[in-house]
């Protein structure tokens, strides 16, 4: 569903993406991991059209996304830190997004209900706690039944209950054949939902493997340990 071919991006002298190529299909749940500054966020931003790559092509459902914008109606995005105009109410943000995606008739309100956000609809964004803000961001990402979801550090800032709700939701949607791209540092949280792992370092993809294969290779049952093992191997 998402395909990248030889993506390159420089910020000034700094090379952030170095010949990145990969391809992912429906139903995959990919964990995008790597140390800080490895290019994870830039890669996501390229997918979302926030950053324009210097060279290379990105395809979404076999269509080049350069200069396109319609394709984003099939993507749900949950940012790491959601910040909204402070005088907007939650209800208004939801309403506005519904306006933007007026073509979607069936709105998925599972998360809104699960987080009980409707009670807070009259609250202004400027007065919300970080956790509530994340709940809003998560709800927005799932609201319009997108085929692909990009979640940037989804569980950071969420309380355990909310994190669990979100995980459940991811599993349900994954079962429907949706593609997930999740960046995270805290791997243990994702152990049970991730199907593939992409590991990035210094702007390059070091590997892109199904989790089972990875576990077999390193012989660890726990993902964290598997990664730690791998990191140790590459650094030494």
Partner 1 sequence: MSKIIKYILLDILRNKIVVAYTLFLLAISLTVFSLEDTPQKGLLSLLNLILFIVPLVSIIFSTIYIYNSSEFIELLVSQPLKRNSIWFSLFGGLAGALTLAFIIGAGLPTLIFEHSTTGGAMVLMGALITIIFVAIAMLATVKTRDKAKGIGLAILLWLYFSLVFDGLVLFLLFQFADYPIEKVMVGVSALNPIDLGRILILLKMDVSALMGYTGAIFKDFFGTQKGYIISVIVLVLWIVLPFGYSIKKFNHKDL
Contact between 92 and partner 1 (CB under 8 A)?
Answer: yes
Is residue 72 a contact residue for partner 1 (CB under 8 A)? yes
Return the residue matching tokens 């576990």.
215
Judged by CB under 8 A, which of 1, 30, 58, 71 binds partner 1? Answer: 71
Selection from 61, 18, 76, 74 nearest residue 43 by Cα: 18
CB of 42: closest distance to partner 1 in angstroms?
8
Q: Does 205 bind partner 1 (CB under 8 A)?
A: no
Size of the site for partner 1 (CB under 8 A): 34
**Of the residues 6, 23, 37, 52, which one makes contact with partner 1 according to CB under 8 A:** 52
Return the residue of 25, 66, 96, 161 that touches partner 1, per CB under 8 A: 96
Q: Which is nearer to partner 1, 28 or 152 (CB)?
A: 152
* Residue in 15, 101, 215, 225 binding partner 1, rule: CB under 8 A: 101
- Strands (DSSP E) contained in 37-167 are 55-60, 63-64, 75-78, 148-152
Q: Does 129 bind partner 1 (CB under 8 A)?
A: no
Residues 6 or more apart whose Cβ sits within 8 Å of residue 173 = 142, 149, 180
Residue with token string 């540092």: 185
| Closest by CA position to 74, among listed 141, 18, 24 | 141
The token pair that represents 100 in the structure block: 């933007």
Please report how close the Cβ of residue 173 comes to partner 1 at its closest, in angstroms: 18
Bridge partners for 205 per DSSP: 200
Q: Is 81 an interacting residue with respect to partner 1 (CB under 8 A)?
A: yes
120 binds partner 1 (CB under 8 A): no
- Determine contact, residues 7/66, Cβ cutoff 8 Å: no
What DSSP letter does each residue of 192-204 carry, written as one string? Answer: TT--EEEEEETTE
Q: Which of 23, 25, 50, 185 binds partner 1 (CB under 8 A)?
A: 50
Q: Measured between alpha carbons, how far is 4 from 162 in angstroms, rounded to an integer?
A: 33
| Interface with partner 1 (CB under 8 A) | 11, 45, 48-52, 69-73, 75, 77, 79, 81-88, 92-93, 95-97, 99-102, 140, 150
């Amino acid at each position: 569903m998402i395909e990248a071919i030889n993506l390159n991006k420089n910020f000034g002298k700094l090379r952030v993406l170095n010949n990145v190529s990969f391809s992912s299909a429906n139903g995959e749940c990919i964990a995008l991991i790597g140390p800080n500054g490895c290019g994870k966020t830039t890669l996501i931003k390229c997918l979302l059209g926030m950053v324009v790559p210097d060279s290379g092509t990105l395809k979404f459902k076999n269509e080049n996304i350069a200069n396109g914008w319609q394709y984003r109606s099939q993507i749900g995005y949950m940012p790491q830190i959601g910040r909204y105009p402070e005088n907007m109410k939650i209800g208004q943000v939801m309403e506005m997004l519904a306006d933007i995606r007026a073509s979607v008739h069936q709105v998925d309100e599972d998360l809104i209900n699960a987080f009980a956000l409707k009670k807070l609809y009259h609250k202004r964004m400027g007065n919300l706690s970080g956790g509530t803000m994340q709940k809003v961001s998560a709800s927005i990402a799932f609201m319009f039944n997108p085929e692909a979801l990009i979640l940037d550090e989804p569980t950071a800032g969420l309380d355990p209950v909310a994190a669990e709700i979100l995980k459940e939701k991811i599993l349900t949607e994954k079962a429907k054949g949706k593609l997930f791209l999740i960046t995270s540092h805290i791997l243990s949280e994702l152990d049970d939902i991730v199907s593939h792992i992409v590991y990035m370092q210094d702007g390059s993809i070091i590997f892109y493997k199904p989790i089972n294969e990875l576990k077999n290779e390193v012989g660890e049952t726990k993902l964290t340990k598997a990664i730690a093992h791998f990191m140790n191997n590459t650094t030494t």
